[in-house]
Amino acid sequence: MALLNINEINIHLTNLPGWELKDNAIEKEWVFIDFKEALEFINKVGEIAEKHNHHPELYNVYSKVTLRFNTHDEGGITLKDINIATNINSI
């Protein structure tokens, strides 16, 4: 899958509320009521990641979850990252 250039990434990010470009990846943070709710979200993300065969860098501290995506094989951001972010935003 082809790498997206900075202009293409920024265009896609306008349609992905909360996602930001950070250090050659797209990233978003969620804050939940408690750890249980955060963990439920993480499990839903896991199901989507398995379906897409594309897995995030995932960070969790109590009720805060941060996801980061880039396509490691390509060395940057591709439509694979944009597509999974779009699916995750629908949770």
Q: Over the stretch 30-57, which tens digit does the pLDDT of each residue have?
A: 999 999 999 999 999 999 999 999 999 9
pLDDT in tens, 1-22: 799 999 999 999 999 999 999 9
pLDDT at 60 over 90: yes
Domain parsing of the chain, residue ranges: 6-89
Supply the pTM of this predicted model.
0.94
**Architecture of the domain spanning 6-89:** 2-Layer Sandwich (3.30)
Give me the pLDDT at residue 1, please.
Answer: 79
User: What is the side-by-side strand order in the sheet with 25-31?
Assistant: 20-22, 25-31, 64-69, 57-61
